[in-house]
Amino acid sequence: MLVQMAHARAAQANLSLRLSAWCSGGALFATALAALLAPVEAAVDRNQTFPAARVTGAPTFDPALSDPAWAKAVKATSFFDLTTRRPAALQTTAYLLYDDQNLYVAFRAEQAGVAIHAAQTTNQIGFGQDDAVGIGIDTSAGQETYFFEATPRGVRYQQSSESSRYDPPWRAQAAVDGSNWAAMLTIPLKDLRAAGGKDKAWRINFIRIVAGVGEHYTWAYDGLMQDGQPPNWPPLTDARYWPTLQGLDIASTSTRPKPRAAIYGLESFGKDRNVFQQANNTFATQSVRNYGLDLVYPLTSTIAAVGTLNPDFSNVEVDQQTIVPQEFPRNLNEYRPFFAQGSQYFTNQSFAPGNDIQPPDEIFYSPSIGPFDRGLKVEGTFGNQSFGLLSVRSTVPTDILDDQAFGYKHITSNRTFLYWVNGVFAHHDIGNDSTVETGIAGRNLATGFVWGYDQGLEQMNLSTNPGDGFAFARSGFVDVHKPNYEWNVGYLDISPGYDPLDGFTAVNDIRGLQGFTDFTASYPGIKNWTGFFTADRFLNHMGNPKEADFFGTTDIFTNNLFHLNLTQQTSSLDDPVLTGGVMLPFNQSSFTLGYRDGTPSPIDFFYGEGPFSTFYLQQFNASTTRPIGTHLNLSLIYAGTHERSALIGVDGQILRSVALGESIGPDTNVTLALRSINGQGGFAAPGLNFAAGFHEKFRSGSELFVNYGTPAASVSLDRFIVKYLLRFGSGEGT
């Protein structure tokens, strides 16, 4: 697609079910206590509170969950189907207990009439392709949020707001019993950043994925909660809709992780042994780094010091690639350990300046920083506050820098009011650049009214722009967010030259209005129907047209697992350097037809066409993924572009891609990828690229990577990389 949209603002009816009224008189206390301890018979909301249940030891696990300890647990039933916006068709029961060291979570999932899917065998591989149950935990007003999920085979997955590399030690057991299955999750308290003490309160939720029908269940429900396709579901931001778990009594030592260290050793072989991906997503020759260190030392249970020395830049853990034409620069994900941990404390992306089509601007965008020598930061939360302080240095000849960044955010426990201040002080060989960003936002839970304002101020003195320069970016919006629709109107003003040295700016020198609206609906025969429409018009600061956009998309998912997407984008953009004031079109009409999306074996076909810059562009893409047996996963893509213009005539490009993954064990997998691109008329360099990877995680937490080439390159790199990570202490990302 022309631009990757991340708007899945699903919502319909607001379900706000309350516990029954309490009796009066002498039986008031007993009745109230019984009501609190009784099973929940309908999806719950954010206003409900449940007392935590403490035990003295771990309950035993069996498919029937027969241990008497479960009778004392917080018990959740009557889940809601977030996909169809109706009560869940299949029964799910969840239980929660805790002791001095662990949380214990058990599920009983009834599945008569729907086949149980459990093909994956390696942890963290193929999330969403199998049935799964899980728990969401918010220990700090949405600033420290976690999910832990398990499949019917006991395969584990986890996500955390504190790090994209979150991978702590925890256990999952599972068993299939006819058409039903059960699971038990044992989660060490040390895996969670949480303040110790008496009468602590967390927000919690229980979820379930029914892969055979592509549906997602949730115990807590609000009409504003969003559905989506894994790995974009479940979203950590929905924690504000979860009920409260009250009365936790946790020793401060129970939630304080051990210090951890990871020492890597790396060797590279082959003709292209010293060719690596750069911060701008190109490949260039660079000296190989053979060893380095990452260190985390918890100062409290919620604050940690993070350091790195000679960090790796080989990207053997993850490769990012795209062959999609885009009007604006692409926003990449950060995976390097030093930057990944606590990255949310240095930016406020949800309210950052930017329009509703291009990626949000950021004053600190760590992927823009290439290889560096060392870094140190302190980050974490205390009460309703989060903060981060960071320093990073590089003496790499291609990118000499000595930069500092900070962030501070205050947010109320119900997330109805927040303010923030972030700053970056960049000192590069080409000069200095300082940017400070402040903002404020609020939400009315009763009316759905949301508002926000953000402003960035930049002072620069660069050899590329001699003399002191001043630039700014500011944006504000008002929004009404209802259970089945939303509308938003905002104003964006980014001055000429605004482009923080360590940041991400899609386009500057624009000012004007923008807005969007979306809706969600559900009808008989249709699982859900969503739509999103946005428009903007910006002038430059001389009063000339600079950018105008319209984007509209609608998705329909039927009960028989068909999916139809219709999208229209009409955009024009002026780049005075390239066009001298001529507005270039970036228009596309497209549709996607999918079958079994959200299940283990989706099939999708995409077609789009329209004028793109100086030529007419046609594109298609056919793709599928599917498990083969219990150890193999196959992905196939066949795509093409066709360009037509008066200058170049007719040209095209075809992409063929096949990827095969084999799950050798719970923590071992092999991946093979072959991609062929031929023709010049497209958005990728032509060539044949073969890449392979082997990964094993040992019981100690240490890891081994053996990679040949990389799928991010345009052609095969004759490069073997062997990397060993020796880990000590607590789990990754804690």
| CA–CA separation, 378 and 357 (whole Å) | 34
Question: CB–CB of 623/614 below 8 Å?
Answer: no
CATH code for the domain defined by 42-250: 2.60.40.1190
3-state secondary structure of 126: coil
pLDDT at residue 320, as a whole number: 58
The b/e string for 138-164 (b: 16+ C-beta within 10 A; e otherwise) is: bbbbbbbbbbbbbbbbbbbbbbbbbbb
Residue type, 567: T
pLDDT at residue 321, as a whole number: 58
Of 50, 115, 48, 39, nearest in space to 79 by CA = 39
3-state secondary structure of 633: strand
What are the tokens at 213? Answer: 């029908």
Of 105, 300, 317, 291, nearest in space to 208 by CA = 105
Question: CB–CB of 343/367 below 8 Å?
Answer: no
In this structure, what are the phi and psi dihedrals at residue 292, rounded to the nearest 5 degrees?
-175, 175
Where are the chain's structural domains? 42-250
- Contacts (Cβ under 8 Å, ≥6 apart) of 397: none
Q: What is the DSSP annotation of 279-337?
A: TTS-EEE-PPP-EEEEEEEESSSSEEEEEEES---S--S---------SSPPPPPP-SH
Residue with tokens 């309160």: 201
pLDDT at residue 587, as a whole number: 94
Of 141, 381, 158, 149, nearest in space to 239 by CA = 141
Question: CB–CB of 59/234 below 8 Å?
Answer: no
* Residue 731, number of CB atoms within 10 A of its CB: 19
| Dihedral (CA of 86, 87, 88, 94) sign | positive
* Residues listed for the chain: 734
Of 123, 185, 120, 311, nearest in space to 696 by CA = 123
* Residue 659, number of CB atoms within 10 A of its CB: 17
| CA–CA separation, 464 and 430 (whole Å) | 7
Cα atoms in the 13 Å half-sphere on the side-chain side of 24: 0
- The residue ranges of the chain whose pLDDT is under 50 are 1-41, 323-326
> Which neighbouring-strand residues pair with 51?
246
pLDDT at residue 525, as a whole number: 85
| CA–CA separation, 515 and 535 (whole Å) | 6
Bridge-based pairing state of the strands 86-87 and 80-81 = antiparallel
At 87-102, the pLDDT tens digits run: 999 999 999 999 999 9
Cα atoms in the 13 Å half-sphere on the side-chain side of 236: 21
Residue with tokens 């609206």: 517
pLDDT at residue 274, as a whole number: 93
pLDDT at residue 332, as a whole number: 67
Helices (H), 326-435: 337-340
Q: What is the DSSP annotation of 20-55?
A: PPPP-GGGHHHHHHHHHHSPB-S-B-TT-EEE--B-
| CA–CA separation, 694 and 672 (whole Å) | 9
Bridge-based pairing state of the strands 49-51 and 244-250 = parallel
pLDDT at residue 21, as a whole number: 28
Q: What is the pTM of this model?
A: 0.88
Segments of 161-290 assigned E as strands: 171-177, 180-188, 197-210, 215-218, 244-250, 260-269, 275-277, 283-285
3-state secondary structure of 68: helix
Of 433, 463, 536, 538, nearest in space to 494 by CA = 538
CA 463 to centroid of chain Cα atoms: 37
Question: CB–CB of 457/335 below 8 Å?
Answer: no
Q: From residue 267, how far is each of 364, 707, 722 by CA, in Å?
A: 31, 11, 5
| CA–CA separation, 338 and 315 (whole Å) | 13
> Which neighbouring-strand residues pair with 81?
86, 217
3-state secondary structure of 76: strand
Residue with tokens 């170049």: 648
